[in-house]
Amino acid sequence: MNRQTLIDQSPELPKLKAMKLLQEGHVKKRLFSGGVLSAVISDGKDYRQKIQLEGEEILHYSCTCHAETLCPHVLALLLQKDLPGKEVPLPKTPKASLKSSKSSLKEILEGAEKEELIAFILSLRSYYKDIPVIIRKSFISTTDEEHLQNTRDELLSAYSALKTRSPRESFVKYFNLLLSTHEDARQAVKERNYLRGVLLYLLLFEMVSLPHKGYDQLLFNAHYLKIYEEALIPLAEKKYTARESQLLFRELRRICQNLKDLSEVTTLLRIMKSYITTETDFDHFYETLLLVYEEEGLLPHDRNNLLFLEYELLMMIGKAEEALELRRENPQVTDFRFMEAESLLGRGKLHEALLIVREGVERSGKNWDELIRWLTLEAGIRKLLQDQESYIAASRRLLQLGEYKAYADLKRSISPHDWPGVYERLIMDEELQKNTKGIYKRILLEEKDKRRLLEFLEDNPELIVEHYAFLNPEYGQEAAKLLSAHIESRAQHLTGRKDYEHIADLVEKLYVYGQEKLANELILTLVMRNKSKKLLHSALLQLKDRYAQSSTYIPE
């Protein structure tokens, strides 16, 4: 595109900002070579620009600010008078300019022509899609803090009313209040009020980390704790002002001081590390980290996690020597040992790495996350050493922990000639047959092992609907009997029209796969057992008539 055309078509606000960057001397390290103009512009931080020129034609341009439209940084280079090629006159200042400090905003806007004013407003909207967010960030009030405090008081009041043997209503009220707060957080994020969203998610994280009062609350907390963690992670990518960051890290510190379950605090600290953007954020976070580390009730595992987090912080600010010293002083930290094993592996010292890995496996105990990580590394090393038996053993342990990826890696690594024997050994493993995370059934389906799948479904009949079609035709009779039994069991808890329709759909599967006699007997049984449910009778008998031999209906 022509250079002047590109300038003329750009919105007014980027032009104003570009001119300001030029006037204040923010353009640095300008270089023109091989038809490419490059520069560095300081705008809060340094951004690098590249413009490929051919006379007055712009062939390509880029900037590390990654703006979706032509950014002020590239535009500032295009507006420079001594740019290679002809001089480019600076664009005319629009009448609706905000540069004038002598006139009030009202006078400027009143003096602008209607068409020009509309164009100016549209340029703002097109360039800044988040104008409402920018305004809210610029003129932040105490609304978010007040809303957070009121919500916290309400939740704590409901939590205090809970007792282990309190009526069910108190649990329902408390849980509904948590769910309502969760919905408020989701709505805040949807409206791009990211500050309020994060504050509410932090509050929810705190509430479900409090000591539980009863089994129902334990189940609720365990489930939603993961949800709130996952919600906080993407919000770290949003931009927050200095005032907003101060609120976030102040709230983090308060939570860390109040919570007694410090294992949850260490998880929260790891998530909130991603919110650090300034030196002030770093200082606030580091102080909170040390505060938690000095707590007496901190378990050794959590203390090790915090040491590794401190190591990451030191590396983040370029203090590599201090980080390495911390690592040398605390060799027992799992993450440090894992890094050492990976380093040895990278240098080809497989046996030395394996010694550390075996130690890590033994020390993991019942910590599944650590055990899976160490076993995955061990399987990789055994594979490199071409120790097939040990590789299979490590993979089998991973499968027992529900890691399907270990099965896929193992099958790719074992020759087709040896695989049937390896598969038989794996599938006969009693721990694997416990179907941890559904992995046993998943492997059977991948191997198309219908015989074993049928045996598995006999112990888990509720899954027959999902796999009935797969078992036909080899095990049509056996699968049909399982499905029939499941339908009879399901029919004992019918509550309305949707349940009746669902039962009819299941019975129809028997007709479709040629089990007409069994289907007819099942319909008769269901009708006799549910004499008062006329809608069910109607649905089942219509189905029976449709598939009757005298019907013109042709089964699929």
Pair 479, 468: CB distance under 8 Å: yes
CA–CA separation, 301 and 324 (whole Å): 20
Mutual angle of helices 404-413 and 368-384, in 10-degree steps? 10
Domains and CATH numbers, the chain: 1-87 (no CATH), 338-457 (1.25.40), 459-546 (no CATH)
Measured CA angle at 517 (ends 513, 519), to 5 deg: 65
Instruction: Give yes or no for residue 481 having a pLDDT over 70.
Output: yes
pLDDT value at residue 248: 92
Full DSSP string of 63-74:
ETT--SS--HHH
Q: What is the pLDDT of residues 411-424, one digit of tens each?
A: 999 999 999 999 99
**Helix, strand or coil for residue 32?**
strand
Give me the percent of the chain exceeding a pLDDT of 90: 35
pLDDT greater at residue 399 or residue 12: 399
pLDDT value at residue 320: 87
Full DSSP string of 147-172:
HHHHHHHHHHHHHHT--TT--HHHHH
User: Which two three-digit tokens encode residue 120?
Assistant: 């100016």
**All residues at 6 or more sequence positions from 30 whose CB lies less than 8 Å from its CB, including other chains:** 37, 38, 39, 77
User: Which two three-digit tokens encode residue 149?
Assistant: 């405090």
Instruction: Give yes or no for residue 391 having a pLDDT over 60.
Output: yes
pLDDT value at residue 230: 92
pLDDT value at residue 81: 58
Find the range with the poorest average confidence among 120-129, 270-279, 374-383, 390-399: 120-129
Find the range with the poorest average confidence among 113-127, 430-444, 511-525: 113-127
Mutual angle of helices 143-160 and 242-258, in 10-degree steps? 20
Pair 464, 506: CB distance under 8 Å: no
* DSSP assignment letter at 93: P
Instruction: Give yes or no for residue 67 having a pLDDT over 80.
Output: no
For 205, counting Cβ atoms within 10 Å of its Cβ (0-12 exposed, 13-18 middle, 19+ buried), the class is: buried
Pair 47, 39: CB distance under 8 Å: no
CA–CA separation, 475 and 451 (whole Å): 8
pLDDT value at residue 554: 46
Q: Is the preceding omega at residue 473 within 30 degrees of 0, hence cis?
A: yes
pLDDT value at residue 553: 42
**Helix, strand or coil for residue 59?**
strand
Note every long-range contact of 375-383, with CB atoms under 8 Å and residues 24 or more positions apart, other chains counting.
375/401, 376/403, 376/406, 377/338, 377/341, 377/342, 377/345, 377/353, 378/354, 379/406, 379/409, 380/345, 381/345, 381/350, 381/353, 381/354, 381/357, 382/354, 383/413
**All residues at 6 or more sequence positions from 138 whose CB lies less than 8 Å from its CB, including other chains:** none
Pair 483, 510: CB distance under 8 Å: yes
pLDDT value at residue 285: 92
Mean pLDDT of 27-46: 80
- Give the chain's mean pLDDT: 83
Q: How confident is the model at residue 552 (pLDDT cuts 50, 70, 90)?
A: very low
Q: How confident is the model at residue 294 (pLDDT cuts 50, 70, 90)?
A: confident
pLDDT value at residue 466: 92
CA–CA separation, 397 and 524 (whole Å): 49
pLDDT greater at residue 34 or residue 326: 326
Count of alpha carbons within 13 Å of 278, Cβ hemisphere only?
14
Q: What is the pLDDT of residues 98-113, one digit of tens each?
A: 444 445 666 666 677 7
Identity of the residue numbered 249:
F
Pair 192, 132: CB distance under 8 Å: yes
For 150, counting Cβ atoms within 10 Å of its Cβ (0-12 exposed, 13-18 middle, 19+ buried), the class is: exposed
